[in-house]
Amino acid sequence: MECERMLEIIVEADPETLEDGLSGNGEHAGHLKSCPGCADAARAVLALNASLVEGLAAEKPSTPLDRALRAAAAEAERRGTADRRRLWRGLVPLAAAASVAGLLAIRSVGISPDGLPGEAYQPIEMTARATATEVGISAPEGTNVAMFRTPNPDIVVYWFYERGEGR
Amino acid sequence: MGEPQGGTTQTTELVDRARRGDETAFRRLVERHRDRIYRQALVQTGDADDAEDVTQEVLVRLHLGLAGFRSESKFETWLFTLTRNAAADFRSKQNRPRNLAARMRELGGGEDGVASDPTGRLEASLIGDQVRAFLAQLSERQRTVLDLVDLQDYPTSEVAQMLGMRPVTVRTHLMRARRVLREELLGREQTKGERQGGM
């Protein structure tokens, strides 16, 4: 085998292949044994690999673990609070929209030809009181439901949401 | 993934406990994996300070996201993806594409960026900035693949899964990475040999 071909192999070969060749095993052992130049090249490549393994293994973060953990916990808490605030800010307009939609739905049910949901049920009139500012919102801790109370005690909107995964 | 079976089992147990709010388990989990996170961040960013920031960001995301971890996937694989995303986000926030050749010059010295005596460098063992300078010759993907396959002995198939690539693509990146590093090394060795021969 020519040295040019051997060098082509050396620049792409698995480290194990080069190790085998240098230790007298495998298909390249013959050339590496008889050609000091190619053997040196193979050894240099293996030395580079070993140095990179050693060098990267020695790389460690400089921040002490305790400080890193405390900082991470504080930042996670800060972001969690901010996320909750954002969630509530997003829910207020949704609550307004939901309450208006609910009122409209009740109204349309009231004029349906079937007379559903029963004669006892009286349709209501839309009034200026049914505004977002009068929607009471509560979300029991530990649940994934928010409850919107409208000015009409007969209408309560439940909003089920998925918990965020922290990203 | 490069960890003994017993270690993996223990990690699973730690993850379960940490998900239930056990702070000691969380600490041990971080203790066990932080070096690996840092190393991956370093390989991806090529900069020790950036790697430190990315590592810290991963710890925050671990706090926030551990509850969402689905145990049907391997924790180490999940953590690898978490770190990869954090590094990518960090880079896009920094909005400063790294000129790796410049980094190489900055770190390694020498006329074209690599320390001028490769043999001496190898004998002294490449550490710290010199390792980074060598790796800076590669693209981020080449560095990641080379690190996982050649330096940490992960099987190509597993690396393909971790990086969301086909195994053949992993092999292609690996070959290119090896070629870049080794041609640089051998070219310099040859030049040095010729210089010595001519004296």
Local confidence band at B171 (pLDDT 50, 70, 90 cut-offs): very high
Inform me whether the C-beta atom of residue A80 falls under 8 Å from chain B C-beta atoms: yes
Beta strand A145-149 pairing with A136-138: antiparallel
Most confident of A32-41, A112-121, B179-188: A32-41
Count of CA atoms in the C-beta half-sphere (13 A) of B54:
33
User: Full-prediction pTM beyond 0.95?
Assistant: no
Contact A45, A18 (CB under 8 A): yes
Residue A144 CB partners (closer than 8 Å, separation 6+): A160, A161, A162, A163
Mean pLDDT of A102-107: 72
Looking at per-residue pLDDT, the higher value among B101 and B172 belongs to: B172
B95-151: per-residue pLDDT in tens? Answer: 654 544 444 445 444 444 344 444 444 444 455 677 778 888 899 999 999 999 999
Contact of A64 with chain B, judged by CB distance below 8 Å, is answered with no
Nearest CA in chain A to B69: A165
Q: Out of A13, A41, A80, name the one closest to residue B64 (CB).
A: A80
List, in order, residues 6 or more apart from A71 with CB less than 8 Å away: A63, B56, B59
- List beta partners, residue A137: A148
Contacts of B128 in chain A (CB under 8 A): 55, 58-59
Top-confidence range, A18-27, A71-80, B57-66, B101-110? B57-66
Q: How far is A147 from chain B (nearest CA, A)?
A: 25
Q: What pLDDT, in 10s, does the model give residues B49-106?
A: 899 999 999 999 999 999 888 777 789 989 999 999 999 999 887 765 454 444 444 5
| pLDDT confidence of residue A20 | 92
The pLDDT value recorded for residue A47 is 93
In this prediction, the answer to ipTM > 0.90 reads: no
CA distance A106 to A156: 12
Quote the pLDDT of residue B95: 61
| Whether B68 and A165 lie within 8 Å, measured CB to CB | yes
Residue of A nearest to B190 (CA): A41
